[in-house]
Structure formats: structure tokens, C-alpha cells
Structure 1
């Protein structure tokens, strides 16, 4: 017979042995909650309750997934982003707290504008960026991705979280649209092939298509996007890009060389360069 407390202690120890020490206790608690429905308070209150065979069977399966370094977000099927829970699975990247820097930058730029902006979220993945901006700014949002699998998940999240319609487009960056937007926002693939090979065991579960930016410096897609954006932004519109801290200065120079002014670099929660953005000049001069 295995009690709640005994299972948690055993699981935390196994996770630590597997190299997951930093989150072992939390992971054990969340796995137990997923299988039994018992939140933290109930787990403490019912610490000596014996787990049923059905519960132990489910716990064994999901614990094995975690021991193989499957991300907790994929196991739980959701991830919090900007205070809301988004459905996630292996079709898309897992939303990360550092990407909230992108949200804050767009909100700050939009503050004081007379009407809600029109926004397109490129490489939208789960839709967390565009959907969050639709909710925070009452914006008219288009979600676009090359992957139909990603768009399928984004549709699920939009249906759950939004009461207003969203436009969905499938294709390479801005190629599916001929419209003009107030804001283009993107967390595109930007890792180099070498960086992709060096990622943690957990990140290896995420789709490489959403990680690797191509070209030796990882900026192949970003270069293309910056070049295309001038034809899809209104006068005074803005392009917001997430990138790696090692690329931020190069991305800033790229924007400056393509009619973008007031180019800024924003730092993330770890105080590293994370978001680069600029305003499209109204003339070519």
C-alpha cells in the first residue's frame, strides 16, 4: 500500500536522481494533483490516504514521462502566460515568462492610442501572444503560422479565451496576407542549428521547426520578416520581435537599416536583451 505522502517522497527522490532536482517537489505535487484531483491543501490533509490501483497506474505513467524529461506543461496540458492558462502540447512551443516582455512592450506602445490596434501575430504557435494582446488591448488580431498543427491549437485557445472573432492564416511569415497592420509581433524561430543541438533535454521535446531560425546566425527568418514588414505596416506602425540576447544588437541594426526608427531593446526577467522593436518611418528619407 502506498500513501499520498510516501508516493510524493519516492517521486521527488526519483526526479532528483534523474537530474530534475530544482523542481522535484513541485513536480511530484502537480503530478499527484493531476492523477487524483487533490490540490496542495488536500495532499497535506490526506497525507496518509492510500492511493488506489487506478490512481497508482496513472501516476506511474505520468511519472515515467517526467523522468524522461518531458516538460511538465506537456504532461499537464496547459501553461500559464500573462495570468491566463493556455492549452499546450507537442504541436507548439511552451509559452515562457520571458516572452511576456513582448506583451509589455506592445501594451506600452499602444497606450494612449485613440482606437484598438490591428495586430498580426506571426509564428503564433499556441496563440498566447496574439490572444493575450486581443484581451489586454481589445485589439483586432490575426494569428498566423506555417504549421497547421500549431494553428489548430491556437484555434482551441482562441475559442476558450476570446469572445470576439480572430482571423487565422497559414503560411510563411507575411506571405498569406496583403493587409496593412498597426502592429506586427512575432516570437519567430531564431536559434542557430548549434544552439538547437545544445538545448536541454526538456526543450528537445519541443518542435524544432519552432526553434531553429536558419542561417549560421539564426536570423534567416528575422531578416526576411523585417524586409517584408515595411509593406504590411501603416505609417508609424511598429514591429516587435523576440530574439536571443546574443542577437539583439544585430536585430536592432537590421531594423534601423530597413526604415525603422526609435529602435529599442527590452530586457527580460533575467535582465537579458530579449525584445527588439521599432517604428516604421513614414517616408523613405
Structure 2
């Protein structure tokens, strides 16, 4: 017979042995909550309750997933982003706290505007960026991705979290649309092939299509997007991009050379350069 407390202790020890020490205790608690429905308070209260065979069977399966370094977000099927839970699975990237820097930058830019902005979120994945901006700014949002699988996840999240309609487009960057927007926002693939090969065991579970920038320096898609954005932004509209801190200066220079002014670099929660944005000049000069 295995009690709640015994299972948590055993699982935390196994996770630590598997190289997951930093989150072992939390992971054990969340796995138990997923299989039993018992939150932290109830787990403490019922620490000596014996787990049923059905519960142990479920726990064994999801614990094995975690021991293989499957991300907790994929096991639980959701991830918190900007205070809301978004559905995620292996069809999309897992939302990260650093991307909230992108949200804050767009909100700050939009502050004081008379009308809700029109926004297109490119490489939208789970839709966490565009959906969050729709909620925070009452924005009119379009979600676009090359992957139909990713768009399926984004549709589910929009259905759960939004009451207003959202436009969905499938295709490469701005190719599916001929519209003009107030804001273009994107967390595109930007890792080099070498960086992709060096990622952690957990990140290896995420779709490589959403990670790799498919150029020697990882900036191939960003270059294409910056070049195309001028034809899809209104005068005074803005482009917001997430990139690796090692690429930030190059991306800022790229924007400056393509009619973008007031180019800014925003730092993430770790103090690293993460978000680059600029305002489209109203002339071609």
C-alpha cells in the first residue's frame, strides 16, 4: 500500500536522480494533483491516505513521462501565461515568462491610443501572445502560423478565453494576408541549428519548426519578416519581435535599416535583451 506522502517522497527522489532536482518536489505535487484532483492543502491533510490502484496506474504513467524529461506543461496540458492558463501540447511551443516582456512592450506602446489596435500575431503557436493582447487591449487580433497543428491549439485557446471573434490564417509569415495592421507582433523561430542541438532535454520535446530560424545566424525568418512588414503596417504602426539576447543588436540594426524609427531593446526577467521593436516611419526616406 502506498500513501500520498510516500508516493510524493519516492517520486521526488526519482526525479532528483534523473537530473530534475530544481523542480522535483513541485513536480511530484503537481503530478499527484493531476491524477487525484487533490490540491496542495488536501495532499497535506490526507498525507496518510492510501492511493487506489487506478490512481497508482495513472501516476506511474505520468511519472515515467516526467522522468523522460517531458515538460510538465505537456504532461499537465496547460501553461500559465500573463495570469491565464493556455492549453498546450507537443504541437506548439510552451509559453515562457520572458515572452511576457513582449506583452508589456505592446501594452505600453498602445497606451493612450483612441481606438483598439488591429494586431497580427505571426508564428502564433498556442496563441498566447495574440489572445493576451486581445484581452488586455480589446484589440482586433489575427493569429497566423505555418503549422495547422499549432493553429488548432490556438483555436481552442481562443474559444476558451475570448468572447470576441479572432481571424485565423495559415501560411508563411505575412503571405496569407494583404491587410494593413497597427501592430505586428511575433516570437518567430530564431535559434541556429547549433543552438537547437544544444538545448536541454526538455526543450527537445518542443517542435523544432518553432525553434530553428533556418539560417546560419538564426535570423533568416526575422529578416524576411522585417522586410515584409513595411507593406503591412500603417503609418506609425509598430513591429515587435522576440529574439535571443545574442541577436538583439543585429535585429535592432535590421529594423533601423528598414524604415523603422525609435527602435528599442527591452530586457526580459533575467535582464537579458529579449524584445526588439520599432515604429514604421511615414515616408520612404
TM (normalized to structure 1)? 1.00
Inter-partner Cα distance in structure 1 for 2:251 and 2:73: 30
- SS of 2:153's partner is helix
- SS of 2:245's partner is coil
Uncovered stretches (5+) of structure 1, i.e. residues with no partner? none
Inter-partner Cα distance in structure 2 for 1:265 and 1:203: 25
Count of matched residue pairs: 285
Shift in Å at residue 157 of structure 1? 0.2
Show the counterpart of 1:161. 161
Inter-partner Cα distance in structure 2 for 1:74 and 1:152: 16
Inter-partner Cα distance in structure 2 for 1:190 and 1:71: 21
- SS of 2:246's partner is coil
Write out per-residue CA displacement over residues 204-246 of structure 1, whole angstroms, 9 at most, x where no aligned residue.
0000000000111000000000000000000000000000000
Inter-partner Cα distance in structure 1 for 2:56 and 2:151: 35
Moved over 3 A (4+): none
Write out per-residue CA displacement over residues 15-55 of structure 1, whole angstroms, 9 at most, x where no aligned residue.
00000000000000000000000000000000000000000
Inter-partner Cα distance in structure 1 for 2:214 and 2:99: 21
Whether 1:141 aligns to 2:141 is: yes
Shift in Å at residue 278 of structure 1? 0.1
Inter-partner Cα distance in structure 1 for 2:23 and 2:257: 44
Uncovered stretches (5+) of structure 2, i.e. residues with no partner? none
Inter-partner Cα distance in structure 1 for 2:235 and 2:37: 52
Inter-partner Cα distance in structure 1 for 2:3 and 2:264: 54
TM (normalized to structure 2)? 1.00
Shift in Å at residue 284 of structure 1? 1.1
Write out per-residue CA displacement over residues 45-81 of structure 1, whole angstroms, 9 at most, x where no aligned residue.
0000000000000000000000000000000000000
Inter-partner Cα distance in structure 2 for 1:214 and 1:231: 23
Whether 1:105 aligns to 2:102 is: no
- SS of 1:247's partner is helix
Inter-partner Cα distance in structure 1 for 2:231 and 2:34: 47
The CA RMSD over aligned residues, in Å, is 0.2
Show the counterpart of 1:10. 10
Show the counterpart of 1:87. 87
Write out per-residue CA displacement over residues 123-177 of structure 1, whole angstroms, 9 at most, x where no aligned residue.
0000000000000000000000000000000000000000000000000000000
- SS of 1:101's partner is helix
Inter-partner Cα distance in structure 2 for 1:73 and 1:151: 18
